[in-house]
A and B are shown apart, each in its own frame.
Chain A
Amino acid sequence: MSIVIDALSKRFGAFAALNGVTLEARPGEFLALLGPSGSGKTTLLRMIAGLDFPDAGHVLFDGVDMTDTPAAERRIGFVFQNYALFRHMTVADNIAFGLTVRARRDRPAKADIRARVAELLDLIQLPDLGHRYPAQLSGGQRQRVALARALAVEPQLLLLDEPFGALDAKVRKDLRRWLRDLHDRLGLTSVFVTHDQEEALELADRVVIMNRGLIEQIGTPREVYDTPATPFVSAFVGETNQIPVTIAAGRAAYAGRQLDVPTAGISDGPAELHFRPHQAELGADVPGTLPILVGAARQRGGGWRVDATLDAQPIEFDVSGPVPDRGTRAGLRLTDVQLFPVR
């Protein structure tokens, strides 16, 4: 099922949570909404779910306008950060809930419901826990039950609100992989919200980077990492060094010193230069390189992460070979950069 979000806006009092957001999710896609808190990603998710309604704009499922349809009628599955399991019901009853509240004519027979619950318990790999209560389960198990409950009603869309936020690191990693496998198996269009970029980049087909109620960029994890569209995306995703430079006659210069970097398409004037720690080579302090002062170094993977300073500004970069002593003046050759004009 495809989703179209068209110019969605929402204010809470004076605060603009969403500022005219437009995006599309393709059928079967695993879409991540990524951003810092206050970026509007959860608000957007809740609008897709029908838990909140926008001030302006439209939400369409497969071309059908769902904007005014309440959540109960949208056939979605929603997984909450704190599971929201019904504490007084067993796991099996929790999972069956969506089926048992259906109107009589749509409700499956009891035996069918039981079969479906058993099927889902197998899917989430908790086949023997149907009779337990949520209080008796671990956090990871509870979240899996929440997922099974959401899937029981055969939703056309799966929405997850920071589903692993309440779990500890190891459980989170395991569940991440498991969720992606599940998605590949079921082929369900899924949208999930996270503030953890590692999670988003690892799981999603496409990532939507949001900031202050606006979309900064939509792209594959590769795209947002390698070709960030805005300084915010560049700084938010992955590690970035940011340096102020000036563009003149097609060349970039830092504090008067010219740099050997491609500047195609960037207009003259002040700009921000972003590069990642692995996009720099250490060499001699010669023209065309960044003049840095080497500081401490620590081991990282197979090589070293070096702390350096560019005048007073801290810079980090990776080297694979031997590291010069502290206090050495060196030149950093930048192999790949992002340039953003400063308006």
Chain B
Amino acid sequence: MAERASVGKHRSARRSVIPGFGLTMGLTVAWLCLIVLIPLSTIFLRAAGLGWDGFVAVGLSPRALSAYRLSFGTAFLAAMVNAVFGLLIAWILARYEFPGKKLVDAAVDLPFALPTAVAGIALVSLYAENGWIGSMLAPLGIRVAYTPLGVVVALIFIGLPFIVRSVQPVLADLGADVEEAAATLGATRWQTFSRVILPAIAPALLTGFALAFARGVGEYGSVIFIAGNMPYKSEIAPLLIVTQLEQFDYPGATAIACVMLVASFSMLLLVNMLQAWRAKRSAK
């Protein structure tokens, strides 16, 4: 988050000579309320209108619980995979020189820039039984498309840049002398990595993980094509919302959306706390 905006706080609290506070602040708050806060509040108000029992009946129904399990479970798994490989990619980008490095560095942002629907059809095309990769896995008995595994694959694609971009600057900043110090004290390369480097980048890694996870839970476009979308088996929570909307089951949709919002905001809080932890740690 943009903690830097509070950089001016320690300056003396004198009245600013710059004009426009009233206008810009007013516009900002008005716009924020109109576009973000009021619309978001509809979820909570509607959900509240259901009463607790009503809320539980639709928001925590067996079908909903299956959907949560799938969404959260696959997002977690994908974020774990990305934590490992994202760290590796951040490492080679921050530490090594190799041909095409600049290209790779730019390419890491592809999942950010590519529309989710495009990613969705591309991935299902690759991993379907007659797809380029799917056809190689089929003889091994591994089915990816239309299974939870497919969802995980899609979420790996989506979440990768979060980890890489979170860890990369921290790795680059970590000076070489700390690693050399560990070496002179007798540490092997692996010990240096696990006991000196990893703890130093832990906050950044966790932040990236949380972001990838949060994104994965709510992801729709890239997942909807490759998931099986069968209720209780391979139906992600966002799809359940859409299905209920199409059936005009507004309460059902609202309740599930409410659960998802609560989860999102919790992740947001977690990320903010992690960033505060990181800021405290990096004070020299």
Instruction: Verify that A and B bind, or say they do not.
Output: yes
Q: Within 8 Å CB of A259, what residues of B?
A: none
The CA-CA distance from A284 to B81 in the complex, in Å, is 88
Q: For the complex, give the distance between the alpha carbons of A311 and B272 in Å.
A: 72
Q: Check if B180 sits within 8 Å of A97, measured CB to CB.
A: no
Q: Does B247 contact A (CB under 8 A)?
A: no
13 A–B pairs (Cβ distance < 8 Å), ordered by A: A51-B180, A72-B186, A72-B187, A72-B188, A74-B184, A78-B184, A85-B181, A87-B200, A88-B199, A88-B202, A101-B182, A101-B195, A135-B284
Contact of A149 among B185, B191, B199 (CB under 8 A): B185
The B interface is mostly helix, strand or loop, or mixed, namely helix
Count of A residues near B, CB < 8 Å? 29
Chain A residues contacting B184 (CB-CB under 8 Å) are 49-51, 71-72, 74, 76-78, 150
* A101-B187 contact, Cβ under 8 Å, with A87-B281, A135-B283, A135-B284: yes
Instruction: Assess the A72–B183 pair: CB atoms within 8 A.
Output: yes
Within 8 Å by CB of B178, from A70, A84, A102, A153, lies: A84
Given contact pairs A51-B180, A73-B186, A97-B182, a sample of 20 additional A-B residue pairs in the complex whose CB atoms are under 8 Å apart: A70-B183, A71-B180, A72-B184, A72-B188, A74-B184, A76-B184, A80-B177, A80-B180, A80-B181, A84-B181, A85-B178, A86-B200, A87-B200, A88-B200, A88-B281, A97-B187, A98-B185, A101-B182, A102-B186, A153-B185
- Evaluate contact between A86 and B196: CB separation under 8 angstroms: yes
Q: Judge whether B284 and A78 touch: CB under 8 Å.
A: no
Q: Please, which residues of chain B bring their CB within 8 A of the CB of A2? A: none
Write the A97-108 contact mask toward B (1 if CB under 8 angstroms, else 0): 110011000000
Counting CB contacts under 8 A, is B175 at the interface? yes
Chain A facing B: main interface SS: loop
Interface residue A82 (Cβ < 8 Å from any Cβ of B): yes
Query: What B residues does A50 contact at CB under 8 A?
Result: 184
Q: Residues 189-202 of chain B: 1 if any A CB is under 8 Å from the residue's CB, otherwise 0?
A: 00100011001101
| Residues from chain B with Cβ under 8 Å of A49 in the complex | 184
Q: Is A86 a contact partner of B178 (Cβ separation < 8 A)?
A: yes
Check if A78 sits within 8 Å of B191, measured CB to CB.
no
Is there an interface contact between B178 and A98, defined as CB atoms closer than 8 Å? Answer: no
